[in-house]
């Protein structure tokens, strides 16, 4: 059975999760607008940064911070 990911070069197989998340952020920015994307990205990054102060909060804070940075990058570019 030849699947789409099986025929992709190895570098593409490693990058597909990042492309998927970037496309989701683009779809969100297209739906709600650039300004709201920037505001949400800033809020998520700040709250994620604050949560990283504790060990338990770091489990949620690090991904929240990264998603916030991704939304900020998508809103700016």
Cβ contact 46:38 at 8 Å: no
Quote the number of domains for the chain. Answer: 1
Question: Do the domain assignments include residue 40?
Answer: yes
Higher pLDDT, 6 or 36: 36
Higher pLDDT, 16 or 4: 16
Q: Is the model's pTM score more than 0.75?
A: no
Q: What is the pLDDT of residue 1?
A: 46
pLDDT digits (tens, 9 = 90+) for 17-75: 888 888 888 888 888 888 998 999 999 999 999 999 888 888 899 989 998 998 898 88
Which structural domain, as residue segments, surrounds residue 36? 8-76
Share of the chain residues as helix, strand and coil, in percent rounded to the nearest 5:
85, 0, 15
């Amino acid at each position: 059975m030849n699947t789409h990911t099986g025929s992709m070069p190895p570098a593409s197989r490693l990058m597909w999760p990042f492309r998927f998340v970037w496309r989701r952020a683009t779809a969100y920015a297209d739906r709600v607008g650039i300004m709201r994307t920037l505001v949400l990205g800033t809020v998520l990054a700040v709250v994620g940064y604050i949560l990283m102060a504790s060990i338990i909060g770091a489990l949620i804070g690090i991904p929240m911070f990264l998603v916030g940075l991704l939304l900020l990058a998508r809103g700016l570019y």
